[in-house]
Amino acid sequence: MGQRDHVDRATRAFVGLGANLGEREKTIRRALERLGDASGVAVVAVSALRETEPWGPVAQPQYLNGVAELATTLEPETLLSLLLEVERSLGRTREGERWGPRMIDLDLLLYGDAELDVPGLTLPHPRLHERRFVLGPLAELAPEAIVPGLGPVAALLESSNRKGGDTLPP
């Protein structure tokens, strides 16, 4: 099998990136390196990283958020397992309050045009369309991308901006 065959069979996936503890940008960059080093995954593009207000009920520092575009031959569940392993390797723990502070957060947002709802994984990400801190960076990379069941990313971002959405500036 040639390199071209591998690329042709890859699925386009998007991963949300976030951190609000420690050296946020450095931790995000290390996560991207680990993803790029993994078999069956190539980091194709990364949005600009943005300072955002924390979301949720817990007082905490500001986040640094972005989105990465991946080309992957991994199945969605395997890719999710890889994301969770990278989080753990960089100090992420899942104890504590939901939406609390974290060293790193990697969310599988889109996996091709897959719609999936299995224990531990829902695709597209169930709150993707409500979060400008995800929609903004995603639109930077792929405004034409379709969120299954909801429509184009650019239109979702425009709608979110009109509604006020979360705290990411339009």
- Indicate which residue of 24, 102, 131, 132 is catalytic: 102
- Indicate which residue of 12, 29, 30, 107 is catalytic: 107
Catalytic annotation present for 4: no
For the chain, the residue count is 170
Residue ranges of the alpha helices (H) in the chain? 3-8, 24-37, 76-89, 132-141, 153-163
- Indicate which residue of 24, 34, 50, 105 is catalytic: 105
Catalytic annotation present for 5: no
Q: Under 8 Å CB-to-CB from 49, ≥6 apart: which residues?
A: 17, 25, 28, 64, 65, 66
The Cα 131–Cα 150 span in angstroms is 14
- Indicate which residue of 50, 92, 131, 132 is catalytic: 92
Catalytic annotation present for 107: yes
Catalytic annotation present for 102: yes
Catalytic positions, written as ranges: 92, 102, 105, 107
